[in-house]
Amino acid sequence: MNFKLFTLTSILLTASLSGCLDGKSSDNQNIECTTLSAGHDDDGKLRILTYDVLALNDSMIESFETATGIEIEFIKESDAGGILDQMMLTKEAQQADLMIGLDNSYLQTAIENCLLRETLFTQSPQYQNISSSSLEAYQGKLAIPFDQGTVCLNYDENFVDGENITIPTSLWNLTEPQWNGKTSFPSPLSSSPGRAFMLATIDYFESDADEQTDAFDWWEKMSENDATFTSGWSESYETHYTGGYGEYTVGHIGDSHLTVSYCHSPGVEAYYSSNYTHSTSLELPKTSFHQVEYTGIINGAANVAGAEQFIEYLLSNDVNSMMPENNLMYSVLVNSSLPETDGFRHHADIATTTAEIPLVRIEIEMEQWLANWKEATQ
């Protein structure tokens, strides 16, 4: 693989230690952070805390290791929530150098708790290649976007055909008897797509004309209508959903005709099924959420220089432009798109009006929202 690493070693040697450099985060002047000592020895390895990010495949890692001489060791969690929990639990003695996988529904919590330190990547010419859409939620120095996608509802066209089940024109339609026991949702307590969709429902019901009900009234009705709630996206989409590739896997239950995934998920299905899919996304305004996933150097990292180099690599054109094929998500680079091969782009829907909730509000109200969701669904 041909790629060009932007060497930051000389800058690292002359610059002050970053993160909350002068005792305060440049991203939030109300928070005083200190740069923590390394929680583990710098033995030359680069330790990456992440989940099962498909793009971090053997070929990609081998190319980086060969080019830099830096050995990579992964510490893997199940989802973004697990990444954040691990960083919180090891705050005083971090075991990893680089985080890959927190999204914009979790990032602000990491920032508020001083879990990240500034990266010099924002000074790299490559930073200018990042699209404005991926920088809308956050464009500070503590985290860099590496992929993006829009979380929305997907449904199975074989069942939701206007006759057996009618296509919803409102989220309230999903509380009707025809949808009883036929929906599944990943929990916002443990799943980043689940949390993103919960945020979308909050904006959806705050934006409608009904001032008597809110998102959690709807979630309560969904629970009463026997919706299935799972710990993560995989269980909801692969095990319960009838419209995806899960129908070909062992353990598939197939009791849900609607679930949470991405607006481009039907394109992924087509891409891997020779331009065939019977899944599509539900296009309702304010029911989708633009999710951005980030990488960032952990406050307490030992191998800061190696982490900087890997960020450069992850955001290089050779690697990041292949996010749709290798990670099933959109690239964050300008002028990037989905491949036309086997209907990937054709079947990938684009949300018209996404939910809008600022990161600062997410941090302030998330704990209460999660408590409300838990109460509504149990």
pLDDT in tens, 103-119: 999 999 999 999 999 99
Report, as an integer, the average pLDDT of 214-219.
Answer: 98
Residue 273's Cβ-count burial label (10 Å; 0-12, 13-18, 19+) is: middle
Which residues have C-beta within 8 Å of that of residue 298, sequence separation ≥ 6?
49, 87, 94, 96, 97, 98, 99, 115, 116, 117, 307
Two tokens, residue 121: 């990547």
Whole-number percent of the chain with pLDDT over 90: 81
Report, as an integer, the average pLDDT of 346-373.
Answer: 94
- Mean model confidence pLDDT for the chain: 90
Q: Is the CB of residue 150 less than 8 Å from the CB of residue 288? A: yes
At residue 174, does pLDDT exceed 50? yes
Q: Looking at 18-27, 41-50, 220-229, 244-253, which range is the least confident one?
A: 18-27
Two tokens, residue 321: 């432009």
Torsion angle in degrees (nearest 10) through CA of 26, 30, 32, 38: -50
Q: Is the CB of residue 33 less than 8 Å from the CB of residue 23? A: yes
Q: Is the CB of residue 195 less than 8 Å from the CB of residue 107? A: no
At residue 274, does pLDDT exceed 70? yes
Cα–Cα dist 325/331, whole Å: 10
Cα–Cα dist 375/369, whole Å: 10
Cα–Cα dist 228/247, whole Å: 17
Task: Please give the full DSSP string across 169-187, using - where no structure is assigned.
Answer: SSGGGGGSGGGTT-BEEE-
Two tokens, residue 158: 């074989």
Reported as a pLDDT band with limits 50, 70 and 90, residue 54 is: confident
Model pLDDT, residue 303: 97
- The architecture of the domain spanning 150-290+339-377 is 3-Layer(aba) Sandwich (3.40)
Of the CATH numbers 3.90.550.10, 3.40.190.10, 3.80.10.10, 3.40.718.10, which one belongs to the domain with range 9-148+292-327?
3.40.190.10
Two tokens, residue 348: 């990938």
Residue the block writes with tokens 């709807």:
218
Report, as an integer, the average pLDDT of 189-208.
Answer: 96
Q: Is the CB of residue 174 less than 8 Å from the CB of residue 258? A: yes
Q: Is the CB of residue 230 less than 8 Å from the CB of residue 239? A: yes
- What is the DSSP code (8-state) at residue 348? -
Report, as an integer, the average pLDDT of 191-214.
Answer: 95
Furthest-apart CA pair in the chain: how many Å?
68
**Helix residue spans in the chain (DSSP H):** 9-14, 58-68, 80-89, 107-112, 132-135, 192-207, 215-224, 233-234, 265-271, 304-314, 317-320, 323-327, 344-347, 359-377
Fold match between 9-148+292-327 and 150-290+339-377? yes
279-281 and 144-156 beta bridge pairing = antiparallel
Cα–Cα dist 312/353, whole Å: 32
At residue 126, does pLDDT exceed 60? yes
pTM value is 0.88
At residue 338, does pLDDT exceed 80? yes
Reported as a pLDDT band with limits 50, 70 and 90, residue 30 is: low
Tens of pLDDT along 284-317?
Answer: 999 999 999 999 999 999 999 999 999 999 999 9
Model pLDDT, residue 4: 35
The letter for the amino acid at 159 is F
What are the Cα distances from residue 143, in Å, to 19, 101, 267? 10, 10, 28
Model pLDDT, residue 27: 56
At residue 357, does pLDDT exceed 90? yes
Residue the block writes with tokens 């954040």:
84
Model pLDDT, residue 244: 96
289-298 and 98-103 beta bridge pairing = antiparallel
Which residues have C-beta within 8 Å of that of residue 169, sequence separation ≥ 6?
284
Reported as a pLDDT band with limits 50, 70 and 90, residue 29 is: very low
Please name every residue paired with 25 in a beta bridge, in sequence order, or none if there are none.
28
Handedness of CA 272, 275, 279, 283 (dihedral sign): positive
Residue spans of the domains in the chain: they are: 9-148+292-327, 150-290+339-377
Tens of pLDDT along 55-95?
Answer: 788 999 999 999 999 999 999 998 888 999 999 999 999 99
